[in-house]
Amino acid sequence: MEISQVKTLIAISDRLKLLVLEVQELAILSFQAITGMFKRPRYLGDTMEQMDLLGVGSLAIVVLTGLFAGMAMALQLSVELAVYGAQIHLGKAVTVTIVREMGPVLTALMVAGRVCSGIAAELGAMKVGQQIDALRVMGVDPVKKLVIPRLLSVLVMLPVLTVISDAIATLGGYVIGVLVNHQSSPVYWSSVGQAFTFKNLLGGLIKPFVFGFIIAMVGCYYGLQTIGGTRGVGKATTHAVVTASILILVSNFLITKLVISLVGWRG
Amino acid sequence: MISLENVNFSFPDHENCEVLADIKFAVKQGETLVILGESGSGKTTILKIILGLLKPTSGKVFVDNQEITQLKEHELMKVRRKIGMVFQEGALFDSMTVGENVAFSLREQSAMSEPEVETRVHQVLSFVDMEESIDKVPDELSGGMRRRVAIARALASCDPKMMLYDEPTTGLDPITADTICDLIVKLRDTQEVSSVIVTHLLRDAFKVGNRFIVLHEGRILFEGTERELRSSTNPYIQKFVA
């Protein structure tokens, strides 16, 4: 084996070791956060503040995302449904797509871009400014004070934001189906109603909790691991958003597969 | 009050590179020990080891006669409450006002009522002559003011008998540095606080220190009084003191 090949193998091995270490540390932080939720002290005030900052603050982008995703979906589907003369199913088609897949994933990705980066940047700046050490010196557990309020707030607010996004996307479908394509309003809403089945809602409501956990924990992990001054904060923020987005897409596939295995394909 | 016995330290991912080697010293009550050394010599690492923020690779650390090396994080929290720490840039919480920063540990850790917290905050801010800045945020403060608030925050929690200062005067103009040095001396003289001060500034070190350690490449090169330090024949120390 040539020296260059050996060097490449060593580099790959080091990178894999680092990846395993990151997964291990993220798992430990997640475990500490989950077990810490049931222990005192509880920072209810901080949690409420984070709900406002992370949740309510994300409302505008989630509404816009839902509206335009729903409208684009309705435009595409109305063309395809017209081929089979099935335009009356537009509401159902839009709602199923949104509730099962697009709503949770798009909302999570938008919130990841805004919230995950925000968490990583804030905690990263605190880390490089020695504020995390200052907390520990004063006998305050950073996981309880910083991580758990953020985790709880995203776990509560992301499902709420997803439901809002789903509703707005359905309205977006209405705008295209009824106001542009002149479909009857009662037909559209009746078709939408058919999509609200247990199987459709199950996956759509499980996903935001999993995605919320990913967004909060990945943001906190990269924030607390930040080293190297302001440049380090930038790197932590980028890594957090990229990692969270990939994990959201991967876990979306796995949850979809799991739900289909458990309750079947058809809504 | 604080003692280190044969402490060695290297970072887990750089095990071959020793940051500290065979460090041993003790700080008595009311004494101010100054650790001198150039940047990267391991001075701040010693403070972090005393606080339990870093665990030594080997050796023992005693704080208030309690060995802390093997303590778990929640046990260390109790030990840390006995020690006040002033970080290099103050490490004030930038989302809080000066008053909130100083009151932080009182609200978190003590059973004080809100009026008692307010009284204590005013008391310690007046000690460092920063009472008029109580509603300012850290961004509105100069470097010296931040250090003074950091000292007030360290004092507020529990009247600590041990204080650690990480480069308390670095980056400050001489007049402001003198104010910080005066505060450190005032604390030592009025409250018998034991202090460990890490710095590379000799002028300030000689103003506040009783005893001095010179650290070079993670090892103690010298330990003694100001007179002994000035008369040392070691070429590195001669160069450092010159």
User: Across the interface, which of A125, A136, A141 has its CB nearest the CB of B53?
Assistant: A136
* CB pairs A-B closer than 8 Å: 53
What's the DSSP call for residue A139?
A: T
Determine which of A31, A137, A140 to mutate to test the interface with B (most B C-beta atoms within 10 Å). Answer: A137
Among A192, A219, A218, A173, smallest CA distance to A71 is for A173
Q: Tell me what pLDDT residue A253 has.
A: 95
Tokens of B223: 């330990």
Closest chain A residue by Cα to residue B104: A138
Contact A137, A219 (CB under 8 A): no
Tokens of B212: 């001095």
Q: Which of B83, B91, B157 sits opposite A129 (nearest CB)?
A: B91
Question: Which tokens sit at B63?
Answer: 């704080």
Average pLDDT estimate for B110-117? 87
Mean pLDDT calculated for residue range B46-63:
93
From residue B51, alpha-carbon distances to B17, B133, B234 in Å are 22, 29, 31
> Are the C-beta atoms of A50 and A149 separated by less than 8 Å?
yes
Contact B108 A141 (CB under 8 A): no
- Give the whole-angstrom CA distance, residue B194 versus residue B234: 28
For residue B149, the chain A residues in CB contact (below 8 A) are: none
Conformational region of residue A39, where left means phi above 0, alpha means psi within -120 to 50, and beta covers everything else: beta
Q: Where are the beta strands (DSSP E) in chain B?
A: 2-10, 18-27, 32-36, 58-63, 66-67, 83-86, 162-166, 194-199, 211-216, 219-224
A57-116 residues touching B, CB cutoff 8 A: none
| ipTM of the shown complex | 0.86
Task: Please tell me which of the candidates B77, B81, B87 has its beta carbon nearest to residue A133.
Answer: B87
Q: Are A110 and A62 in contact (CB under 8 A)?
A: yes
Residues of chain A neighbouring B73 (CB-CB closer than 8 A) = 141
**A21: closest chain B residue by CA:** B13
Look up tokens 């919130």; give the residue.
Answer: A111
CB A108 within 8 A of CB A114: no
Alpha helix positions (H), A175-265: 185-195, 198-224, 229-263
pLDDT of residue A265: 60
Over range B160-173, report the average pLDDT.
Answer: 87
Question: Which tokens hold the place of A16?
Answer: 């894999």
Give the pLDDT of residue A249: 97
What percent of chain B has a predicted confidence (pLDDT) above 90? 47
Residue in A125, A126, A138 closest to B108 by CB: A138
Domain architecture of chain B: domains with CATH? 2-82+162-241 (3.40.50.300), 95-160 (no CATH)
pLDDT value at position A179? 87
pLDDT exceeds cutoff 80 at B12: no
User: Residues of B with CB below 8 A from A125's CB?
Assistant: 94
Does B89 reach chain A within 8 Å, measured CB to CB? yes
Q: What is chain B's mean pLDDT, rounded?
A: 89
**Cβ of A229 under 8 Å from any chain B Cβ?**
no
User: Which candidate from B80, B88, B89 shows the least CB-CB separation from A136?
Assistant: B80
Q: Per the CB < 8 Å rule, is A139 touching B105? A: yes
Task: For residue A267, give the 3-state DSSP assignment.
Answer: coil
Distance from C-alpha of A137 to C-alpha of A139, rounded to nearest angstrom = 5
User: Which positions in chain B touch A126 (Cβ < 8 Å)?
Assistant: 93
Report yes or no: B78 at the A interface, CB cutoff 8 Å: yes
User: Does B199 score more than 60 pLDDT?
Assistant: yes
Q: Which residues of chain A fall below pLDDT 70?
A: 265-267
Tell me which amino acid residue B1 is. M
Q: B106 pLDDT exceeds 80?
A: yes
Interface test with B, best of A138, A141, A145 (most B CBs within 10 A): A138
A130 contacts B87? CB cut-off 8 A: yes
Cβ-nearest to B108 among A125, A126, A140: A140
CB contact under 8 A, B53 and A137: yes
- Kindly report the backbone phi and psi dihedral angles of residue B224, in degrees, each rounded to the nearest multiple of 5, phi listed first: 170, -165
The C-alpha atoms of residue B35 and residue B37 are separated, in whole angstroms, by 7
The 10 Å CB-count burial string (b at 16+, else e) for B225-239 is: ebeebeebeeeebee
DSSP annotation of B182:
H
* E strands in A61-142: none
Q: Which of B48, B92, B105 sits opposite A138 (nearest CB)?
A: B105
Residue B176 pLDDT grade (very low, low, confident, very high; cuts 50, 70, 90): confident
Beta bridge partners of B164: B85, B196
Is the bond into B138 cis (omega within 30 degrees of 0)?
A: no
Q: How far is B104 from chain A (nearest CA, A)?
A: 9
**CB distance A222 to A121 below 8 Å:** no
